Amino acid sequence: MAATMKLGTLGHAASMLSTGLLDEQFQKLLLLQDGSDPNFVAETITLFCEDGERTIGELTKQLDKRCVNFDEVAAFVHKLEGGSATVGAQRVKNTCIQFLEFCKEKSRDGCLKTLDTLRVVFYDVSGKFKAMLQLEQQQAEATK
């Protein structure tokens, strides 16, 4: 685990790992952080949260259209799949994989149901990421 992260935050991350919200890819992300790049994890997961929120907004718009362009929907889902795989957001990644199947089948109902699931799992992980970053910041302030 990265020496630059506080014990409280690591505990937070450990609980997300044990519940399957995150996978071992997140631990590998922690190892990339070092003294020369002390904000790497915070920046990466902040970007994931912002990008993910934008993507869910786009997917909602796309699936609201009378004539759904499933290739365009799939492109957005694929991007979120990649980002979630990179940060270790396992449940988001797996939901994206299911979503892509419904895009292939051109099933609007399937896509809409999976989007609902995606919203739940994404906001669950992004909420916990934000709490983790807040804790990290509070601990950093306390040690100043």
Partner 1 sequence: MTSYVEGYPVKALIIEDSAIETMVLSAMLRKFHCEISTAKNGKEAVQMFLEGKKFDIIFCDKDMPIMSGPEAIEKIRALGEIHVKIVGVSVGDNAQEAFMRVGVDEFVPKPMKLDVVGAIIQEVIKKKKNNETV
DSSP output for 31-97:
HH--TTSTTHHHHHHHHHHHHHHHHHHHHHHHHHSSS--HHHHHHHHHHHHHHHHHHT-HHHHHHHH
Among 13, 16, 29, 132, binds partner 1 (CB under 8 A): 29
Region 31-60 residues binding partner 1, contact defined as CB under 8 A: 31-32, 36-37, 40, 43-44, 47-48, 51
Q: How far apart are CA 74 and CA 92, in angstroms?
A: 15
Supply the minimum distance, in Å, between the C-beta of residue 40 and partner 1: 6
Residues near 76 by Cβ (< 8 Å), separated by ≥ 6? 55, 58, 59, 62
Among residues 112, 108, 133, 141, the alpha carbon closest in space to that of 50 is found at 133
For residue 28, state whether it binds partner 1 (rule: CB under 8 A). Answer: yes
Among 17, 63, 68, 85, binds partner 1 (CB under 8 A): 85
Stretch that binds partner 1, among 6-14, 74-82, 108-116, 125-133 (CB under 8 A): 74-82
In this structure, what are the phi and psi dihedrals at residue 65, rounded to the nearest 5 degrees?
-70, 155
Indicate the residue among 68 and 85 with the shorter CB distance to partner 1.
Answer: 85
For residue 4, state whether it binds partner 1 (rule: CB under 8 A). Answer: no
Binding pattern for the stretch 7-26 against partner 1, x by CB under 8 A and - elsewhere: ------------------x-
Residue ranges in contact with partner 1 by CB under 8 A: 25, 28-29, 31-32, 36-37, 40, 43-44, 47-48, 51, 75, 78-79, 81-83, 85-88
